[in-house]
Structure 1
Amino acid sequence: MAGIGFTLRRLTQRDDLMGIVSGYGHSLFISAGPWLLTVGALVGINSVLGQTLDQNAHRLFGSILIYNFSVSLVVTGPVVLVSTRYLADRVFEKRLETATGLLMTSMVLGTMPGLVIAIPFYVIACDLPIATVAIALSHYAVISGVWIAALFLSALKAYVRVTISFGIGMATAFGAASWLGARYGVDGALGGFTIGLTVTLIVILATVLSEYRFRLQQPFAVLPYVGRYWDMALGGLVYNLAVWVDKWIIWSGPGHVTIAGALTTSPIYDGAMFLAYLTIIPALAVFTVTVETDFFEDYQRFYRDLGQHGTLNQIKDNQKRLITAIVNGLRTVLVLQTVIAVLAIFFAPEIIRATSGSSQQIAVFRFGVLGALFHVLMMFCVILLQYFDARRPALFVQMTFLATSAVATWLSIDLGFAYLGYGYFVAALITFIVSIALVFAVIARLPYLAFVRNNPSVYNA
């Protein structure tokens, strides 16, 4: 992400307001494009379809989207991380002739396993008409493709086309789902939403393929990376499981709603938590434009001087610069996210009312906002660990998040409705403490890691 981050940072450094607005505006779609597309379109669609669909049809539409959204994120997580590592290595080597093959292989690896799960689930476990099943499976395949294709955008500097692709997709999804939903019910709404996602996917693929104008070659070159970076692949799976495990546990508790046989959700909890997640997006944009780019400059200086046989004093000075950059970055994200969290908590009743939510969601939303505060800081720490190739510590953080989220959410159910969202908050807080401790433990041993632990010629000798 640092490559396109530098381009956006130059936009924000122009001497006009539009440069700042453009830089951070584009970064919103780059850092959270699929999430913005889904939530933005859903909010608009729900406001329209709430007047035309009955309650059961409306819940069926939302449930299918949530299930596809969650399973696709979990299944594609390992593929996205391993493919990102492979692509980053090829960018560093300036050998991008295999990028087209990587795209095609990643699309297959990211989509097919999920369909193996989704097909029997919708066909056997759910009581749905065949037309609805076909559209639901199409939606799953397309959203999985969007997750995969979007990772290639981070290596490009075509930020305008990135924004346009998600903007067009969001508008198409809203318009098509609203128009078709009013005429054909759930099938129309789900089909229209899928059309919008398909438009986004087509535009993303066209953008990527126009940049990587290579013939399809070495499509399976990424497969050895799965074994070499198994801990990174496992981390992608575990992290996305951690993000969703609290919802799955809540769906089995009091207040859940079951429709079409096997589609079980908790509208009160789900809606409040999705709104809470939106508070992360500004911090992600700032991280992309300023925090990561500032850190990356010091990161490059440290390893460049190592490669040029810098003195011990230079190495130590560069290490201190990295520590300063990390502290400054954490402070920036912490201050921004804290301000957003305070405002969101204070105006929670108005926010819930504006989104046509229930008053029961206010407390859940506030816990979710507090959890999001520490969640985004934890994400920052995991990214830093990945930069230093500390894959095992990063995996430990992700496993901590999964375990604490599952246990804390399960315990919160026994405490009663007033504690919904408490599990996510506690899990994010504990995981952030663990992650920040590991980051500074790694940075304190950085010279040793660079010379010995991460040096194959020494460590594997």
Structure 2
Amino acid sequence: MAGIGFELRKLLRTESYLGLLRAYTYASIISSGPWVFSIVGLIAIGVLSIGTVYPDALIVQFQVTVTYLIMSSLIVTGGLQLAFTRWVADRLFEKRDRAVVPNFLGVTLVTTAASGTLAWLFAWIGFRDASNLYRVLLIAGFALMSNIWVATVLLSGLKQYRAILLLYAGGYGLSVTLAWALRPLGVEGLFAGFLGGQFAMWFGMVALILRNFPLREPISLECFGRRQMYPELLLAGFFYNLGVWIDKLVFWYSEQTSQHVIGWMRASVIYDLPVFLAYLCVIPGMGIFLVKFETDFVEWYDKFYDAVREGGSLQDIAHYHDRMQETVREGLYQIMKVQTITLLAVYTFVPSLFAWIGISDLYIPLFLVHAAAASFQVMLLAVLNVLYYLDRRREVVAVTVTLTVLNVALSLLSITLGAEFFGYGLALALLGALMLALWLAQRLFRKLEYLTFMLQ
């Protein structure tokens, strides 16, 4: 399960610039693969459909529908993703490997039933003018995407990053192929093709989970029992995903910045494209995140708590504590440095790049603001990861609630102030949440030994 960490350490220990470059490139691809394939896949389907799907509004309907499915499924299952992953980690610590797959299947059953019911109500009430096939695909798509996120976060918790990358590459590649083949059927054909690839990807994830933990017991709902999942994690997962999407909802449902697409779904032409393109700028920062926080930090974290549990010397415990803190500080500094270089490069070359791919220069200011916001999000994700490892659940809830509240308030304010302020709501909200998370983490490290021994 720690194979990715060992591979990265092997590349880093070659003591050469080439080994260093290979390690960080490998980490960047592994960590940001799902985001990149999601964005590129949707864009590719849209480009390949131009000229064969008429009118072009049908392509927009497909892309907006999938975007809403991704957003809503992330928000609805965000809390369950975190809480169930922690539940699995606790069972693995107890050496109860046999409980993982039965409860994963139970979570899949509950997720399918709950998301399917919600999607059915949404499709029935909000999409009366759409075709029956579209509504069926909408219901199936929401249930499928919800289950994909649960499986993805479980595999991420098991450190199966390379497998996730390969599955996303294959799944989105198949989605593009099937959507291209079914494009003569219009928006329903594009939608069905996309879901075909996503189903294959989810099936591969389930197969990988079953390979790691064979099914030896019947389906179980033990994880939904009393005091089995932490309510703080349910709240933190929900508010984090809501917090990073709420500005899109504000712009989508403001009459000044959006237009109707299909059913209850709206989109913002001026806001959406720069947002999704900006997330491609975080690939270098995600590489640093994986190396420093999922590999180096975890190494010192394990040594610290092993020393605490096994009666290590005070000198060793203090040393491991200092190394944990140094790794966090160094990791954040490196993320900031590499993202600053990335933003400077983007600022230099983005006019030529936008001209080459045919995007108006009017999008550039908003794109640059969102690129900066995406960099803040990577740093916030890194600090939240530290708080999760140190089991500071209430602090994480405070940070994610703060992110949500700030993003709503500042995004509404940016619309009131005018187009030149678009995007600053998200950027300032992420920056504010990051500052709060850093303050909480710093305060925690000052008294970590005291809190650790008091909880024994």
Match of 1:240 in 2: 241
Instruction: Give, in angstroms, the shift of residue 135 of structure 1.
Output: 1.5
1:360-389: per-residue Cα shift (whole Å, max 9, x none)? 322211110111121111111111011111
How many residue pairs are counted as aligned between the two chains? Answer: 452
Query: Quick check: 2:111–2:143 contact (8 Å CA) kept in 1?
Result: no
The runs of 4+ residues in structure 1 deviating greater than 6 Å are 16-22
* CA distance 1:178–1:94, shift in 2 (3 Å): same
Whether 2:42 is the aligned partner of 1:42: answer yes
1:393 to 389, 392, 395: 395
d(CA) in 1 for partners of 2:126, 2:336? 44
d(CA) in 1 for partners of 2:451, 2:222? 28
Worse overlay, 223-232 or 369-378: 223-232
Instruction: Give, in angstroms, the shift of residue 13 of structure 1.
Output: 3.7
d(CA) in 1 for partners of 2:46, 2:322? 51
d(CA) in 1 for partners of 2:20, 2:87? 32
d(CA) in 1 for partners of 2:350, 2:167? 32
1:324-363: per-residue Cα shift (whole Å, max 9, x none)? 1111111121112222222223333334445543333222
d(CA) in 2 for partners of 1:55, 1:382? 41
Match of 1:285 in 2: 287
* CA distance 1:43–1:350, shift in 2 (3 Å): farther
* CA distance 1:157–1:395, shift in 2 (3 Å): closer
Identity across aligned pairs (percent)?
28
Q: 3-state SS of the aligned residue for 1:258?
A: strand
Instruction: Give, in angstroms, the shift of residue 436 of structure 1.
Output: 0.5
d(CA) in 2 for partners of 1:46, 1:132? 18
Instruction: Give, in angstroms, the shift of residue 281 of structure 1.
Output: 3.0
Match of 1:458 in 2: none
d(CA) in 2 for partners of 1:321, 1:17? 24
Whether 2:8 is the aligned partner of 1:9: answer yes
* CA distance 1:33–1:108, shift in 2 (3 Å): farther
Match of 1:123 in 2: 124
Q: 3-state SS of the aligned residue for 1:360?
A: helix
Worse overlay, 91-100 or 443-452: 91-100
* CA distance 1:154–1:29, shift in 2 (3 Å): farther
Query: Quick check: 1:79–1:109 contact (8 Å CA) kept in 2?
Result: no
Query: Quick check: 1:76–1:111 contact (8 Å CA) kept in 2?
Result: no
Match of 1:403 in 2: 405
Match of 1:55 in 2: 56
d(CA) in 1 for partners of 2:99, 2:337? 41
Query: Quick check: 1:82–1:225 contact (8 Å CA) kept in 2?
Result: no
Letter in 2 for 1:349: P
Q: 3-state SS of the aligned residue for 2:222?
A: coil
Match of 2:426 in 1: 424
* CA distance 1:20–1:91, shift in 2 (3 Å): farther
* CA distance 1:109–1:226, shift in 2 (3 Å): farther
The aligned runs of 1:293-308 (5 Å cut-off) are 293-308=295-310
Instruction: Give, in angstroms, the shift of residue 227 of structure 1.
Output: 5.9
Worse overlay, 348-357 or 315-324: 348-357
Instruction: Give, in angstroms, the shift of residue 243 of structure 1.
Output: 0.9
* CA distance 1:109–1:238, shift in 2 (3 Å): farther
d(CA) in 1 for partners of 2:299, 2:274? 38
1:261-287: per-residue Cα shift (whole Å, max 9, x none)? 321111221111111122223322332
Match of 1:271 in 2: 273
Worse overlay, 169-178 or 207-216: 207-216
Q: 3-state SS of the aligned residue for 1:264?
A: strand
* CA distance 1:440–1:136, shift in 2 (3 Å): same
Instruction: Give, in angstroms, the shift of residue 139 of structure 1.
Output: 1.8
Q: 3-state SS of the aligned residue for 1:279?
A: helix
d(CA) in 1 for partners of 2:204, 2:157? 16
Query: Quick check: 1:82–1:226 contact (8 Å CA) kept in 2?
Result: no
* CA distance 1:108–1:17, shift in 2 (3 Å): farther
5+ residue gaps, structure 2, are none
Instruction: Give, in angstroms, the shift of residue 315 of structure 1.
Output: 2.9
Instruction: Give, in angstroms, the shift of residue 290 of structure 1.
Output: 3.8
Worse overlay, 412-421 or 331-340: 331-340
Worse overlay, 75-84 or 104-113: 104-113
TM-score normalised per structure 1: 0.91
Letter in 2 for 1:35: W
Whether 2:111 is the aligned partner of 1:110: answer yes
Instruction: Give, in angstroms, the shift of residue 438 of structure 1.
Output: 0.6
* CA distance 1:166–1:17, shift in 2 (3 Å): farther
Q: 3-state SS of the aligned residue for 2:266?
A: strand
Query: Quick check: 1:104–1:219 contact (8 Å CA) kept in 2?
Result: yes
Query: Quick check: 1:378–1:431 contact (8 Å CA) kept in 2?
Result: yes
Query: Quick check: 2:4–2:162 contact (8 Å CA) kept in 1?
Result: no
* CA distance 1:27–1:213, shift in 2 (3 Å): farther
Letter in 2 for 1:12: L
Worse overlay, 224-233 or 126-135: 224-233
* CA distance 1:379–1:281, shift in 2 (3 Å): same
2:327 to 312, 319, 325: 325
Match of 2:164 in 1: 162
Letter in 1 for 2:56: Q
d(CA) in 2 for partners of 1:401, 1:225? 29
* CA distance 1:356–1:326, shift in 2 (3 Å): same
Q: 3-state SS of the aligned residue for 1:222?
A: helix
Letter in 1 for 2:11: T
The aligned runs of 1:29-428 (5 Å cut-off) are 30-53=30-53, 54-126=55-127, 127-156=129-158, 160-181=162-183, 183-217=184-218, 219-224=220-225, 228-253=229-254, 254-428=256-430
Query: Quick check: 2:246–2:408 contact (8 Å CA) kept in 1?
Result: yes
TM-score normalised per structure 2: 0.92
d(CA) in 2 for partners of 1:348, 1:204? 36
* CA distance 1:225–1:79, shift in 2 (3 Å): farther
* CA distance 1:135–1:357, shift in 2 (3 Å): farther
